[in-house]
Amino acid sequence: MRVIALAVTMGTLLAWSLVSGRLARWSVTAPVVMTAAGVALTVGPHPLVTISLTTSNAEHAVEVILAVALFVDATEVPAGAVHRQRRLLARLLVLALPLTLGLAVLLGRLLFPAGGWWLAAVFATVTVPIDLAPAADLIRDPRLPSWLRAVLTIESGLNDGIVAPVFLLCLAGLESHGLHGPEPTGELHTAFTSLLWALLAGLLVGKPGGWLLRRSWRAGWARESAVRLGIVALPLGAYALANVLHGNGFVAAFVAGLAFTPASRSLPPKALHLVGDLGTLFSLALWFVFGEVVTTAFTGDFDGRVVAYAAVALTLVRVTPVLLCLLGTGIPPADRWLLAWLGPRGLASIVFGLLAFISLSARSPHEADLAGQVMTMTVLMSLLLHGLTYGPLASRYAAARSGLTDPAWEGG
Q: What gap in Å lies between CA 325 and CA 401, rounded to an integer?
A: 22
Q: What gap in Å lies between CA 261 and CA 207, rounded to an integer?
A: 9
In this structure, is residue 204 part of a structural domain? Answer: yes
The whole-number pLDDT of residue 387 equals 67
Name the domain count of the chain: 1
In this structure, is residue 408 part of a structural domain? Answer: no
> If 0-12 CB within 10 Å is exposed, 13-18 middle and 19+ buried, where does residue 392 land?
exposed
In this structure, is residue 99 part of a structural domain? Answer: yes
Contact 285, 65 (CB under 8 A): yes
Q: What gap in Å lies between CA 324 and CA 326, rounded to an integer?
A: 5
The whole-number pLDDT of residue 53 equals 66
Contact 280, 66 (CB under 8 A): no
In this structure, is residue 383 part of a structural domain? Answer: yes
In this structure, is residue 265 part of a structural domain? Answer: yes
The whole-number pLDDT of residue 324 equals 94
User: What's this model's pTM, rounded to 2 decimal places?
Assistant: 0.83
Taking residues 24-44, report their average pLDDT. Answer: 78
In this structure, is residue 304 part of a structural domain? Answer: yes
In this structure, is residue 163 part of a structural domain? Answer: yes
The whole-number pLDDT of residue 179 equals 46
Contact 4, 48 (CB under 8 A): yes
In this structure, is residue 149 part of a structural domain? Answer: yes
The whole-number pLDDT of residue 214 equals 93
Contact 372, 353 (CB under 8 A): yes
Query: pLDDT tens digits for 174-207?
Result: 887 754 444 445 556 676 788 888 889 999 999 9
The whole-number pLDDT of residue 79 equals 62
**Rounded-to-10 torsion of CA 226, 227, 230, 231:** -140
| Structural domain containing residue 19 | 2-401
> If 0-12 CB within 10 Å is exposed, 13-18 middle and 19+ buried, where does residue 285 land?
buried
Q: What angle do CA 259, 61, 74 make, to 5 degrees?
A: 20
Query: pLDDT tens digits for 212-248?
Result: 999 999 988 988 889 999 999 999 999 999 989 988 8
Q: What is the domain-level CATH number for residue 17? A: 1.20.1530.20
Residues 6+ apart with CB under 8 A from 42: 48, 49, 50, 51, 291, 292, 295
Q: How many CB atoms lie within 10 A of CB 124?
A: 26
User: Does the pLDDT value for residue 131 go beyond 90?
Assistant: no
Contact 231, 274 (CB under 8 A): yes
